[in-house]
Amino acid sequence: MVKKKTKKKTQKKTNKDNAEKVASKIEKISKEIVSQIKKEESPTFLTSQRGRSNVEFDEKKGVLQLGEKMTSRNFLNLGHAKKFMQTTLVASKTFDYLKKNKTASIREIYYELKHSLGSGKENTFEDQTESDSVIVDLEHSAETIREKLNLHANPKGALYGDITLKDKMHNNDTFNMLQLGRGGWSIMSRMEPEEIEIVKTNAKYVLVIETSAMYERLVEEDFAKKNKAILVGVGGQAARGARRLIHRLYKEENLPVYVFTDGDPYGWYIYSVIKQGSMALAAHSGFLACPKAKYIGMTIEDIHDYELKEVTEKMKVGDVKRAKEMLNYAWFQNKPWQDELKRSIKEGVRIEQQALANKSLEFVAETYLPEKINGKKFLP
Amino acid sequence: MVKKKTKKKTQKKTNKDNAEKVASKIEKISKEIVSQIKKEESPTFLTSQRGRSNVEFDEKKGVLQLGEKMTSRNFLNLGHAKKFMQTTLVASKTFDYLKKNKTASIREIYYELKHSLGSGKENTFEDQTESDSVIVDLEHSAETIREKLNLHANPKGALYGDITLKDKMHNNDTFNMLQLGRGGWSIMSRMEPEEIEIVKTNAKYVLVIETSAMYERLVEEDFAKKNKAILVGVGGQAARGARRLIHRLYKEENLPVYVFTDGDPYGWYIYSVIKQGSMALAAHSGFLACPKAKYIGMTIEDIHDYELKEVTEKMKVGDVKRAKEMLNYAWFQNKPWQDELKRSIKEGVRIEQQALANKSLEFVAETYLPEKINGKKFLP
């Protein structure tokens, strides 16, 4: 059992882990297994228990975290044997990646490792959920994140504003996001400091935007320059690469993070994942969360303040159900959010960020966002 | 009724339409309506009939086109009155956009124009499908595309390779896509020549890639540089901005376009839309289609040639149904595609492009694509 204090220390350390260090962790886990076999013990390795029962909301830090419950996988337990084999396959492959300086998507490693066993019909992996689950095991065992194992999910999201990045793995390309036309930069799936350096930014804050269309609107209105803002268009739920980038701007550059989504359960969820982390990735909040992030809107109050009733939509049954669940979430246990959720349920409406176009196209950039940000009219 | 010859001529012309010309077209349509009213005639305007019955596959050009069937909207016809009103609202708003040099997403114009009528409960638009449909009417009436009306859909897709673009609406930013790190450029929703200039490219062809993860793989393998390729990661079905860009590289730069998708009905559909255009946008194939584009794969033959059987997946019932429908499509009436579709149905399998990782991560870049492209092993 890893004690809490030790764990915290290790987690801090891993933020600076490089490929060599992570590879040596994998090697250590593997050597331990080999030594167990030599001693004729049942090969076993430890990983954190997952699922809600082991997820805690750390009130002080304001992030979701994985608890201390550990679980073991034993090769000689019939129920564990296949998973054990899968774990050694993934561990060995990621070790290769780290040594060869290659990276792979989690779908690629699944395909790379999938093959039939011997002459039988049994496959190493039946589908990607099996390898995904093993990757999480390994992240926990090695106390790191998949990006440090040279794995990653799909890329999504765009970046715009006065920020200069350097890609150390690509001729040290150095480019400022205000000089790439109105498209901006396509955020990679991997945004690790060992690869992408934040060279400089003159921005005062990071604005995270749910929809790609609103991102384009704010680019067209020259919002970034006029307000010294970095715009991150996440296009729905933020991909891990976008979350790593936002986290790094928050942590390394000390920039406030403001989140601008539709006013509905999906938008609130996008916000809460950026702020506190997610259940599924509770172990990695230290790499991904921005606990001081603020929610700009859309809010129910906006509908009244800006007379937007005509452009609201009725909440669907599923939305209402989801909003009611959110009322009980630890991280929404504060008056402003309780009021917001209850009011939404009572009025039964949702409002999209693009609905602000009902005032005028420029309204969001010239009135709405400045009023919210300068007046600090946020939800916590 | 617009005669075919006249229409063709006009369509050619519209490729060079600028905001002023399009605005004057809208003005002309509007003036016609005003003059009808003054003459106490029923205000009427003409637009092309839509739906399959008016879509033709032009064998010679190799693209889908809208036929000559026209339809009229009459204000004094009770069934048309609301749509007529909606059309004038959209026409007037796009005229404003063109005059003020503003652009809007099709969701924004919906929200901008949505309001209740008088003291009644009737709204100008109930939902976006209504304004979307009117936008198509207007595109047809003015014989142009929505981008020229300063409207656009959401952006999606990334661009990488030795190509330099200039954004004439953004300080004339000029940037080469090999110098933006490994992320590449985030393709805008609007890629019109009046705004984005293709300054220079040393590439020999354009490679369109279905998944974002495969796009990242090819970037990591330095495929673009080694093969003088432009990579366009479309992330599923290509957005209009990405299609306009691919079309322009095909047309303005005379570059061959190769499409690389999963081997399944969705992948084939992505290909056919890039090559021939789509049913829904049949009128705009001249702005969007690349009739000489070639299909690289994945193919059923690949599964055998590269021993990938273990990493295929069973076709779902819906996939088989879709494949059977495609057998009858005019643009798949050639032996190679008939063979491919029939074989897929017979073997009942689909294969993803990422399944090539089963050979090795580098295999796609070092073996598969070069063999296909250098050997001209394409489907037509």
Residue B298: asked if its preceding bond is cis (omega within 30°), the reply is yes
CA B93, CA A101: separation in Å to the nearest integer?
54
As a whole-number percent, the residues of chain A with pLDDT over 90 amount to 79
- Say if the Cβ atoms of A155 and B183 lie within 8 Å: yes
pLDDT (tens digit, 9 = 90+) per residue, B166-201?
999 999 999 999 999 999 999 999 999 999 999 999
* Residue from B186, B220, B223 whose CB has the most chain A CBs within 10 Å, to mutate: B186
- The pLDDT of B78-89, averaged and rounded, is 91
Residues of B in contact with A216 (CB under 8 A): 105, 155, 188-189
Burial A134-143 (b: 16+ CB within 10 A, else e): bbbbbbbbbb
Assign A73 a pLDDT band (cuts: 50, 70, 90): confident
Q: Looking at the predicted structure, is the pLDDT value of residue A267 above 60?
A: yes
Indicate the SS3 state at residue B360. Answer: coil
Domains and their CATH numbers in chain B: 4-152 (1.10.10.10), 158-374 (3.40.1360.10)
pLDDT (tens digit, 9 = 90+) per residue, B115-145?
888 777 789 999 999 999 999 999 999 989 9
The answer to whether B311 touches B274, Cβ cutoff 8 Å, is no
Helices A106-113 and A128-141 cross at an angle (nearest 10°) of 110
At position A130, the amino acid (one-letter code) is E
CA A24, CA A32: separation in Å to the nearest integer?
12
Q: Which two tokens stand for residue A335?
A: 């008056």
* Residue from B156, B165, B182 whose CB has the most chain A CBs within 10 Å, to mutate: B182
| Angstrom distances, CA of residue A205 to CA of A71, A87, A318 | 41, 41, 34
- The pLDDT of B50-73, averaged and rounded, is 89
Q: How buried is residue A265: exposed, middle or buried, by Cβ count under 10 Å (0-12/13-18/19+)?
A: buried
Q: What is the pLDDT of residue A14?
A: 42
Q: Looking at the predicted structure, is the pLDDT value of residue B150 above 60?
A: yes
Q: Which two tokens stand for residue A111?
A: 């395909």
Q: Which residue has the higher pLDDT, B181 or A14?
A: B181
In the block, residue with structure tokens 């479309």: B234
Q: Which residue has the higher pLDDT, A4 or A136?
A: A136
- The pLDDT of A305-325, averaged and rounded, is 95
As annotated, the active-site residues of A are 111
Assign B3 a pLDDT band (cuts: 50, 70, 90): very low
CA A43, CA A47: separation in Å to the nearest integer?
14
Assign B9 a pLDDT band (cuts: 50, 70, 90): very low
Picking from B88, B96, B84, the residue whose alpha carbon sits closest to that of residue B22 is B96
The residue of chain A with its CA nearest to that of B109 is: A357
Q: What is the pLDDT of residue A294?
A: 98
Picking from A144, A152, A162, the residue whose alpha carbon sits closest to that of residue A191 is A152
Q: Looking at the predicted structure, is the pLDDT value of residue A13 above 50?
A: no
DSSP character string of B264-325: SHHHHHHHHHHHH--STTGGGHHHH--TT-EEEE--HHHHHHTT-GGG-EEPPHHHHHHHHH
pTM assigned to the model: 0.91
Residues of A in contact with B360 (CB under 8 A): 112
Q: Looking at the predicted structure, is the pLDDT value of residue A11 above 60?
A: no
Residues of B in contact with A180 (CB under 8 A): 167, 173, 175, 180, 185
As a whole-number percent, the residues of chain B with pLDDT over 90 amount to 79
Picking from A182, A219, A218, the residue whose alpha carbon sits closest to that of residue B167 is A182
Q: Which two tokens stand for residue B360?
A: 């090795």
- Say if the Cβ atoms of A357 and B180 lie within 8 Å: no
Longest distance between any two alpha carbons in chain B, whole Å: 74
- Say if the Cβ atoms of A188 and B183 lie within 8 Å: yes
- Say if the Cβ atoms of B108 and A352 lie within 8 Å: no
Q: Which residue has the higher pLDDT, B70 or A7?
A: B70
As annotated, the active-site residues of B are 111
Work out the minimum CA distance from B186 to partner chain A, whole angstroms.
Answer: 5
- The pLDDT of A336-364, averaged and rounded, is 96
Assign B17 a pLDDT band (cuts: 50, 70, 90): low
Residues of B in contact with A112 (CB under 8 A): 357-358, 360-361
| Angstrom distances, CA of residue A378 to CA of A259, A297, B49 | 10, 8, 49
Q: How many CB pairs under 8 A join A and B?
A: 167
Q: Looking at the predicted structure, is the pLDDT value of residue B263 above 70?
A: yes
Q: Looking at the predicted structure, is the pLDDT value of residue A100 above 60?
A: yes
Residue B188: asked if its preceding bond is cis (omega within 30°), the reply is no
- Say if the Cβ atoms of A180 and B188 lie within 8 Å: no
In the block, residue with structure tokens 């001529």: B9
pLDDT (tens digit, 9 = 90+) per residue, B212-252?
999 999 999 999 999 999 999 999 999 999 999 999 999 99
- Specify which residues A313 forms β-bridges with: A350
Ramachandran sector of residue B347 (left: φ over 0; alpha: ψ -120 to 50; beta: rest) = alpha
- Say if the Cβ atoms of B189 and A310 lie within 8 Å: no
Contacts of residue A88, defined as CB under 8 A and 6 or more positions apart, other chains included, come to A30, A33
Q: What is the pLDDT of residue A280?
A: 82
Residues of B in contact with A107 (CB under 8 A): 213, 352, 354, 357
In the block, residue with structure tokens 């999963």: B262
* Residue from A90, A154, A180, A198 whose CB has the most chain B CBs within 10 Å, to mutate: A180
CA A31, CA A92: separation in Å to the nearest integer?
12
pLDDT (tens digit, 9 = 90+) per residue, B308-358?
999 999 999 999 999 999 999 988 999 999 999 999 999 999 999 999 999
Task: Read off the DSSP letter of residue A289.
Answer: -
Arithmetic mean of pLDDT over chain B: 91
Work out the minimum CA distance from A203 to partner chain B, whole angstroms.
Answer: 19
- Least confident residue range of A24-28, A43-47, A368-372, B28-32: A43-47
Q: Looking at the predicted structure, is the pLDDT value of residue A347 above 80?
A: yes
As a whole-number percent, the residues of chain A with pLDDT over 70 amount to 96
Q: What is the pLDDT of residue A241?
A: 95
The answer to whether A293 touches A271, Cβ cutoff 8 Å, is yes
CA A96, CA A94: separation in Å to the nearest integer?
5
